[in-house]
Amino acid sequence: MEIIDKKNLEKIKALNNQFVLKVVDEFISLCKPLKVTVITDSQEDIDYVRNRAIELSEETKLSLKGHTVHYDGFFTMSNHDQARDKGNTQVLVPKDEEGSYPWINTMEREKGLKEVLDIMDGCMKGHECVIRFFCLGPKNSKFSILALQLTDSFYVAHSEDLLYRAGYEEFRKLNGSDDFFYFIHSSGELTGKPPVTKNLDKRRIYIDLKEGRVLSVNNQYAGNSLGLKKLALRLAIYKANNEDWLTEHYFIMGVHPKGKNRTSFFCGAFPSACGKTSTAMLPGQTIVGDDIAYLRVWEDGYAHSVNIERGIFGIIKDVNAKNDPVIFDALTTPRETIFSNVLVKDGKPYWIGDGSTIPDGGHNYSGNWNKGKKDKNGRDIPLAHPNARYTIRIEELNNADPNLHKPDGVPVHGIFYGGRDSDTMPPVIESLDWEHGVFLGASIESETTSATLGEEGVRMKQPMANLDFMVVSLGKYIKNHQVFGNRLEHCPKVFATNYFLKNKEGKYLNGILDKLCWVIWAEGRVHNDFNAIKTPIGNIPKYLDLKTLFKQYLDKDYKEEDYIKQFSIRPKKILEKLDRIEAMYKKEKDVPEFFWNIFNNQKNLLINLKNKSDSEEISPLLF
């Protein structure tokens, strides 16, 4: 503790928590920073973080007040620090549990700790370390979990101030308890200006379930470095599924149908880059959260949900005034906002699909950029990375829901599950009951995108859009969902969506804003405003209902021929999907019986349907 001056040490001691002192002492001694600064909930301390990020060139001011830009490390288009690194993200498990989770990377705990702690030895040399305290969820709420963070990146620390609720005073209320998560992060040795992580080959993101902690080193990209985000999601999934609640990869939105004096709250799980944030930010609706939610059974018989965050770390690609007007307005007006890995010219940010005229040159993550620039492997370097991001506070948005910080959360009336599917499922279907909804969520597939490192366009299985973060067996996870829903007096309706259906020529069958009509239809189904057509895979909308909604909400004439193309049932394709789902779940232990009952019933119905028709696409008008 010698490196911490008296003023900062007193801030830690004021918490009266020996476990906090132990963690700080252990990792300050290991990481060996030049200086340690403890950040409380005071505005002075929080301002210090942002100002230091700018002073150190981790962020650079842009023309609009409050806007800054940050760049993550880049060597080539295939070797960079601008997406989640699945390969070097490991869940540390006891030796006897190795191989229990075939869908994620695991490492024997003692081996992993030795490796990562060796790499972290001296990783903060010459850097200032900040000690942060946050609250995952609303303050004074039985939903919430506290989080301690040590990092030497002021960009990371600044991002956390936009994304999470300050928690120093909440730590005081722990009365010495060790019931909190903690996260140690270092960007490691830096190079260049702006300073970026040099040793990407030593990038490690290790999740220690036993200790409720994450150790992350040699990276800056927020998906790898912001422990409180997807890394804390894993810790919370482990905790929730060994208790009696749920941690989910959910947005939370308030749906406000025209002419109805009501608000219905929906959650939704979508893999990265599949329309999750843009759904939560649909025009005319309100947003509680866009990424991670905790759910509990509440006294009123509903599941209640809270957003563990207060901000958005969103993909900026294709955000423009036409398709995402609410987000676009927020990004083009003065407020505290961090852009990452975009092009900057004369203090203005540009990104892929922003609808503007792109300048011929400027500065981006590769340094000075001009059209046609290539990396050393001959690959084109786009003006902005396809996974470029923005970070912004929700409460500063004009569509922020007033229940954002409500300690009791909001009642969940419906749940959406979706993925990137070019040729199989219709744009929206409704489950037949809660257990069928769990089956729909467990059956999500999605084609890979630039949000993770690796090849794009590969069809991956994504149960509840959560497989990347799963740290319990899938059988246990699905069973817990079944039990959770069966405890509810008012069970949410469950819907599966697909915004990415294409025709044989590869053209999307849906407009980007069409999703508003799918959402409004689902809200109407919750309140029995619409009838539906029952099919072997679930309930689908009637044409005339959608025609009315398209006119009312988008002022579009929705043609019957488009409806038929979109909502035709494709038995052959769906049976192929079921074969893939079966192959996955046959490898799992303890998959509950209800799952296989639904699987077999749906498969038999689809086989009968396929045998009755020569067509690969069966019109919804025939049901």
Rounded to 5°, the CA angle 436-439-444 comes to 135
Q: What residue ranges in 2-88 does DSSP mark as E strands?
A: 35-38, 60-61, 67-70, 74-76, 79-80
Is 233 in contact with 313 (CB distance < 8 Å)? no
Is 384 in contact with 343 (CB distance < 8 Å)? yes
Is 394 in contact with 306 (CB distance < 8 Å)? no
Catalytic residue numbers? 274
Question: What burial letters (b/e) apply to 446-481, b meaning 16+ CB within 10 Å?
Answer: bbbbbbbbeeeeebbbbbbbbbbbbbbbbebbbbbb
Residue found under tokens 């979990």? 145
How far apart are the C-alpha atoms of 600 and 137, rounded to whole Å? 40
How far apart are the C-alpha atoms of 402 and 287, rounded to whole Å? 9
Instruction: At 213, give phi and psi (nearest 5°).
Output: -145, 165
Is 190 in contact with 197 (CB distance < 8 Å)? yes
Is 126 in contact with 142 (CB distance < 8 Å)? no
How far apart are the C-alpha atoms of 512 and 239, rounded to whole Å? 37
Residue 359 CB coordination number (10 Å): 16
How far apart are the C-alpha atoms of 16 and 13, rounded to whole Å? 5
